[in-house]
Structure formats: C-alpha cells, structure tokens
Amino acid sequence: MNYVLAGPSLLDKIAFVVLAGSVLGFALLTITRKGAVAALMALIGAFCAMAGLYATLSAHFLAVLQVLVYAGAIMVLFIFAVMILNRDEEHPIALRGLFVRAAGVLATGYLFYRLAWLVVRERRTDVFSTAITLPIPEYGNVASVGRLLFSDFLFPFEAISLLLLVAVVAGVLLARPPRPARSSQSTDGGGAT
Amino acid sequence: MPGHLYILVSLALFFIGTTGVLLRRNALFVLMSVELQLGAGSLALLTFARGLGDQKGHVVAFFVMALAAAEAAVGLAIVVSVYRTRRQIDLDGINELRN
C-alpha cells in the first residue's frame, strides 16, 4: 500500500476539505439551532455532504442510498413530526443539571481526544491506506454490493426487512390517536393526570 | 485522501452528536443528534472497508441505514404519542412512567 508515493491529487484534497468542512459545519448548526425546521435543513445538508464523502471513498451505492434514504425518507419523517409538534422552546440548552451534562460532554471530549490521538499516531498502518488503485474494479457499485448482500448476508437482509415491518407497525400503533372508549386498554392517554 | 482523516471527521461528528444528545432538551433534537451519531459510525465503517479492500463494511453500513430508518420511525412515533398526552416534549419534564 503506497499512498505516500501515489498521493491524492489537488482535486481530491479540495473535495475532501469542502465535504468534511460542510459535514462538520452543518452538524454543528444542527445541534445549535433553536428552530426545529432550521436544524432539520442543516441536518439534510450534513447528510448530503456525508454522501459526497462516501463517494470519495468509492462507496457509490451507499452514497446514493444516503441521499435517498437519509436525506430523503428519514428527513421527510422528521419534517412531518415537526409539523405535528412545532413549538419554539425558550431555553434550548438545559440549565437544570448543567453540571452533570457538562461533565458528560467533557468525558466525551476526552474520549474523542484519546481516540483521535490514537488514530493520528497509527496513521501509517495499512488499515488507513486508501490507495489510488481499487482492490477490484467494480468496488462499491450496486452490482458488487448487491451480490454480497444477497449471498453472504441474505439472512441479515431478511431479518432487517422484518425489523422494518415491525417498526412500521409500531409507529402506526404508537402515533395513532387514542381511542376514547376501550375499557380493557388503560394505556391509551385518555384522561389527563 | 489518507484514511485517518476520514476517521478523524467521523470522530468529530460522533462527538458533535453526543454533545447534542447530552445538552438538548427537546426530544426532536435528541433524535436528530442520534442520527448524526449513526452517520458517523457509517462513515468509519466505509473508511475501514476502503482501507481493507473489503465490501462487507458497505453491507453493514447499509444495515445501519435501515436500522436508522426503523429507529426514526419508532422514536418519532413515541415523541408524538408523548406530546399527545403530556403537551410537551421536554425531556426534563417527562420523568415518570405513570400516565
């Protein structure tokens, strides 16, 4: 693996810097916005930029799926939820229990620091070498990943389809308005406490 | 680009997502931050798949995507259901299981 000799071209560097910068910038916007719609739009931008990063890793199938599934379907779900419960909050950042939360963020930051330090120290290992030559010519396209999906991973694929079905049924059951008169079911939120 | 830069981006993205989960009070924003964390995991999977020259990481990232869809569906349904009974989705205000 000789990525030192065959280094990335200038266009690769520009694409990586732009895409990684927009991923992190949009992610920061997502968690700092007050309005839910603005945060959602930033999240869509982050996912589209992440699809670009996938494409630079020559994972073309996953890049297309990222745009279709994440930036498309899941975000539509979020937009519908925002439409139902659109309220502006006065204090987006919690003030109560701030000390505990700050401790949690500091602990996560320390974890990030140690992992990043480890990654930078071990950056010469073969795992991190994204060589210019691909392992196989059709690496990461639909046919190649799909063949793997339907041969080695057929059982997990069917299991995940069952999981999606269960999730759809659960979503319908949970979000349905509570029926007024069913004496056997007391879990429906009929009466206010 | 060398792969460790992708891993650094993935780590930073996971840190941002965790910060969002810890600091935000609105349940919608917490779910969005969880999506960011899942995306960071997928990015790391694809980077290592590229480094190892193995496509199994792509398949696992595909499963993560399907899992994120299921999680978003159930999570948002729970948030809508809680909002219907409580009139709030503030995670600090929802602290009892009793209806």
ipTM of this predicted complex? 0.90
Question: Which two tokens mark A112?
Answer: 């990030």
What confidence category does residue B27 fall into, taking pLDDT thresholds of 50, 70 and 90?
confident
Q: Report CA Rg, chain A.
A: 23
User: Furthest-apart CA pair in chain A: how many Å?
Assistant: 74
Distance from CA of A58 to the nearest CA of B (A): 8
Question: Could you tell me how far CA B82 lies from the centroid of its own chain?
Answer: 20
Contact predicate B73/A168, CB 8 Å: yes
User: Residue B99: what pLDDT?
Assistant: 53
> Which residue, among B21, B24, B60, B94, would best test binding to A if mutated, counting the most A CBs under 10 Å from its CB?
B24
CA B13 to the chain's CA centroid: 10
- What are the structural domain ranges in chain B? 3-86
**Residue B12 DSSP class:** H
| Residue A124: pLDDT band with limits 50, 70, 90 | confident
Selected for mutation to probe chain B from A5, A14, A57, A145 (highest B CB count within 10 Å) is A57
**Averaged pLDDT score across all residues of chain B:** 88
- B99 and A193: CB-CB below 8 Å? yes
pLDDT at B52: 85
pLDDT at A5: 47
Percent of chain A at pLDDT exceeding 90: 45
Q: Which residue in chain B has the smallest CA separation from A13? A: B1
Residue A96 is predicted with a pLDDT of 66
Pick A31's closest partner by Cβ from B16, B68, B77.
B16
Question: How far apart are the C-alpha atoms of B7 and B19, rounded to whole Å?
Answer: 18
* Statement: residue A193 has pLDDT above 70: no
Give mean pLDDT, residues A54-78.
Answer: 91
Subunit contact B29:A56, Cβ cutoff 8 A: no
- Nearest residue of A to residue B78, measured between CA atoms: A174
Yes or no, beta carbons of A78 and B72 under 8 Å apart: yes
**Rounded mean pLDDT, B81-99:** 74
Residue, of B76 and A126, whose pLDDT is higher: B76
Q: Is the dihedral of CA B21, B67, A151, A60 positive or negative?
A: negative
Kindly state the average pLDDT of the residues B64-74.
Answer: 93
Look up residue A135 and give its DSSP letter.
Answer: S
More confident site: A165 or A128: A165
Identify the pLDDT of residue A192.
43
Residue A62 has pLDDT above 90, yes or no: yes
pLDDT at position A191 is 44
**Does the CA dihedral A167-A171-A174-A180 come out positive or negative?**
negative
Q: What is the pLDDT of residue A92?
A: 58
pLDDT at residue A190, rounded to an integer: 44
CB burial string B28-41: b at 16+ within 10 A, e below:
bbbbbbbbbbbbbb
Tell me how many degrees the CA angle A131-A133-A137 measures, rounded to the nearest 5.
135
- Minimal C-alpha gap between B37 and chain A (Å): 10
pLDDT at A26: 96
User: What tokens appear for A168 in the block?
Assistant: 């759809």
The count of CB pairs under 8 A between chains A and B is 252
pLDDT reported for residue B82: 85
- In terms of Cα–Cα distance, which of A65, A162, A69, A133 is closest to B59? A65
The pLDDT value given to residue A3: 45
The class of domain B3-86 in CATH terms is mainly alpha
The minimal CB distance from B65 to the residues A58, A70, A104 is found for: A70
Question: Rounded CA gap, A44 and B64, in Å?
Answer: 18
Confidence of residue B19 (pLDDT cuts 50, 70, 90): very high
Q: How far is A97 from chain B (nearest CA, A)?
A: 10
Q: Is the pLDDT at A1 greater than 50, yes or no?
A: no
Closest residue, chain B, to A98 (C-alpha): B23
Which of A151, A174, A179 to probe by mutation at the B interface, max B CB count within 10 Å? A174
**pLDDT value, residue A164:** 93
Q: How far is B33 from chain A (nearest CA, A)?
A: 7
pLDDT, tens digit, for every residue of A68-94?
Answer: 998 889 999 999 888 887 766 656 565
B70·A164 Cβ contact <8 A:
yes
Return the higher-pLDDT residue of A68 and A180. Answer: A68
Give B24's strand partners. Answer: A93
pLDDT value at position A170?
92
Q: How far is B82 from chain A (nearest CA, A)?
A: 9
The confidence score (pLDDT) of residue A181 equals 60
Q: Which residues of B touch A115 (CB under 8 A)?
A: 11
Structural domains of chain A sorted by starting position, each given as residue range(s) with its CATH number in brackets: 8-87 (1.20.120.1200)
Average pLDDT, chain A: 83
Residue with the two structure tokens 């205000």: B93
